[in-house]
């Protein structure tokens, strides 16, 4: 049982892929995996810090495990709170940030050693935290572990340098680092050899991809040529780095899904500026007009934040009207919550809960109606 590991993932696809990487490394080190926490001696939480709600869920999950099992907190919350996690959750044994995941098997071995029943320890006495890593080693992506036997997530870049004012990602995952295209292609080749036929290229801002020689559009062209690959897609795009050359590639490359997730976040220019998004409402609307003109039967989804500090009824109306006008296939709609380290945290979170909820409900209902009409289910 001590050698069996259960891993619970919170947050985005990047965390899903990181969890696969961790599972692959653990298997290589001789650990077994289980999908039941009751059968595990080691419980890992790969966490998300993007919203307060996500963090609250993690704290509550951790609190449920007080039965002497080894508990590790990984990912964005680990990086965000570091050793402070032990103060709030003394049952946690170790904390590992996103750039240190290669160390997880070794840390578990060390923890197993001190956690023998006769070795009582006080808070922090035998706790381990690894959050100082800046760069991942490339080989961690080649363990061959994929949760889905037909589909692989492939990371093309890690971190983000956009510093949107509400977002914690640059602080917990660091500045953007691009993997070399030859390494990405090698990883896809290995996945195809294992029988995988579908791939999703992952990054916080895939459109900014460049390894010095190969840019994002070129990378798409190279992936499209790969034998055995049937379909591929990418996520997430940033409007300020998205241009017509991408749409042309999407129209031309037969294996590339005609799907674009392009976060708008707000329809108000004033709020977009406060969010440090780097584009205006008009820029965004012109961009998607081009997208729909060039890419036939194109699918378009987005992210929206309501209740950003200082958002007035007029700002909200701009967002509402943008959604009504654009008719996204699906939208992920969130209520703003302040995040530590971010610029927006310095602003007064002055949109009262009642207004945030009202705006969230209004926009959700609008989008649900649009999504129903367009036969898309994923509106949150
Ligand atoms: S683009 Fe902005 S919202 Fe997206 S990860 Fe980077 S900083 Fe966060």
Bond prior to 236 in cis (omega within 30° of 0): yes
Q: Is residue 139 part of a domain?
A: no
Q: Where are the beta strands (DSSP E) in 97-254?
A: 128-130, 151-155, 157-158, 177-178, 198-202, 231-235
Q: Are residues 223 and 269 in the same domain?
A: no
Pairing of strands 70-75, 299-306: unpaired
Mutate to test the pocket of ligand 1, among 51, 159, 162, 203 (most ligand atoms within 8 A of CB): 162
Q: Is residue 135 part of a domain?
A: no
The percent of residues in the chain predicted with pLDDT above 90, rounded, is 83
**Average pLDDT, stretch 2-14?**
90
- Whole-number Å distance, alpha carbon 205 to ligand 1 midpoint, is 7
Distance CA(233)–CA(210), nearest Å, equals 17
Residue 38 DSSP class: G
Q: Are residues 112 and 160 in the same domain?
A: no
Distance CA(227)–CA(80), nearest Å, equals 41
Return the CATH number at 267.
Answer: 3.30.750.200
Give me the count of residues in the chain: 380
| pLDDT for the residue 135 | 77
Q: Which pLDDT tens digit goes with each residue over 143-173?
A: 999 999 999 999 999 999 999 999 999 999 9
Q: Are residues 288 and 328 in the same domain?
A: yes
CB atoms under 10 Å from CB of 123, counted, come to: 9
| pLDDT for the residue 122 | 45
| Helix (H) or strand (E) segment spanning residue 8 | strand 4-9
- Closest ligand 1 atom number to CA of residue 276: 2
- Whole-number Å distance, alpha carbon 297 to ligand 1 midpoint, is 27
| pLDDT for the residue 375 | 78
Q: Which pLDDT tens digit goes with each residue over 200-234?
A: 999 999 999 999 999 999 999 999 999 999 999 99
pLDDT band, very low/low/confident/very high, at 127 (cuts 50, 70, 90): confident
Pocket (CB within 6 angstroms of ligand 1):
160, 162-164, 167, 169-170, 204-205, 238
Which of 98, 130, 162 is the C-terminal boundary of a domain?
Answer: 130
Distance CA(111)–CA(43), nearest Å, equals 12
Rg of the chain's alpha carbons, rounded to an integer? 22
- Whole-number Å distance, alpha carbon 263 to ligand 1 midpoint, is 10
Instruction: Give the predicted TM-score (pTM) of the model.
Output: 0.91
- Helix/strand/coil for 130: strand
CB 281 within 8 Å of CB 235: no
| pLDDT for the residue 138 | 76
Residue 147 DSSP class: S
Asked whether the predicted pLDDT for residue 120 surpasses 80, the reply is no
Work out how many domains the chain is built from and give that number.
3
Which of 103, 130, 157 is the C-terminal boundary of a domain?
Answer: 130
Q: What are phi and psi of 331, to 5 degrees?
A: -145, 145
Residue 98 DSSP class: G
Q: Is residue 57 part of a domain?
A: yes
Q: Are residues 108 and 150 in the same domain?
A: no
- Closest ligand 1 atom number to CA of residue 204: 5
- Whole-number Å distance, alpha carbon 282 to ligand 1 midpoint, is 20
- Closest ligand 1 atom number to CA of residue 277: 2
- Whole-number Å distance, alpha carbon 164 to ligand 1 midpoint, is 6
- Whole-number Å distance, alpha carbon 153 to ligand 1 midpoint, is 19
Q: Are residues 231 and 299 in the same domain?
A: no
Q: Which pLDDT tens digit goes with each residue over 248-305?
A: 999 999 999 999 999 999 999 999 999 999 999 999 999 999 999 999 999 999 999 9
Q: Which pLDDT tens digit goes with each residue over 60-111?
A: 999 988 777 899 999 999 999 998 999 999 999 999 999 899 999 999 988 8
Bridge partner residues of 139 (DSSP): none
CA distances from 234 to 84, 204, 207, 211, 215 (A): 35, 10, 9, 17, 14
pLDDT band, very low/low/confident/very high, at 366 (cuts 50, 70, 90): very high
pLDDT band, very low/low/confident/very high, at 377 (cuts 50, 70, 90): low
Domain that holds residue 112: 4-130
pLDDT greater at residue 269 or residue 127: 269
Return the CATH number at 239.
Answer: 3.30.750.210
Q: Are residues 120 and 154 in the same domain?
A: no
Q: Are residues 245 and 272 in the same domain?
A: no
């Amino acid at each position: 049982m001590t050698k069996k590991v259960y891993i619970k993932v919170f947050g985005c696809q990047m965390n899903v892929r990181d969890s696969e990487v961790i599972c692959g490394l653990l298997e290589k080190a001789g650990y077994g995996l289980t999908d039941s926490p009751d059968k595990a001696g080691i419980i890992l939480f790969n966490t998300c810090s993007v919203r307060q709600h996500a963090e609250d869920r993690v704290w509550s999950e951790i609190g449920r495990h007080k039965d002497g099992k080894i508990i590790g907190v990984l990912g964005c919350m680990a990086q965000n709170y570091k050793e402070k996690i032990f103060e709030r959750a003394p049952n946690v044994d170790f904390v590992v940030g996103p750039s240190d995941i290669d160390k997880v098997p070794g840390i578990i071995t060390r923890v197993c050693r001190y956690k023998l029943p006769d070795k009582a320890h006080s808070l922090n006495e035998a706790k381990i935290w690894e959050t100082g890593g800046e760069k991942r080693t490339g080989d961690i992506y080649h363990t061959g572990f994929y949760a889905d036997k037909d589909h692989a997530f492939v990371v093309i870049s890690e971190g983000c340098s956009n510093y949107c004012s509400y977002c914690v990602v640059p602080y917990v995952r660091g500045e953007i680092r691009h993997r070399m295209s030859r390494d990405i292609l090698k990883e896809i080749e290995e996945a195809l050899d294992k029988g995988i036929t579908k791939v999703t290229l992952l990054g916080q801002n895939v459109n900014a991809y460049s390894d010095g020689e190969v840019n994002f559009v070129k990378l798409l062209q190279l992936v499209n040529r790969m034998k055995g690959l049937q379909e591929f897609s990418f996520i997430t795009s940033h409007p300020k780095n998205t241009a017509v050359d991408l749409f042309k590639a999407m129209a031309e490359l037969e294996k590339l899904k005609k799907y674009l997730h392009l976060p708008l976040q707000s329809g108000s220019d004033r709020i977009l500026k406060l969010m440090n998004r780097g584009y205006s409402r008009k820029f965004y609307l012109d961009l998607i007009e081009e997208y729909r003109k060039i890419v036939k039967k194109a699918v378009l989804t987005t992210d929206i934040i309501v209740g950003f500090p200082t958002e007035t009824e007029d700002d909200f109306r701009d967002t509402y009207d943008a959604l009504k006008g654009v008719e996204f296939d699906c939208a992920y709609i969130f209520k703003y919550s302040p995040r530590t380290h971010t610029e927006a945290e310095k602003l007064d979170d002055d949109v009262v809960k009642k207004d945030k909820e009202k705006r969230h409900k209004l926009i959700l209902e609008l989008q649900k109606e649009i999504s129903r009409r367009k036969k898309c289910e994923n509106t949150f």
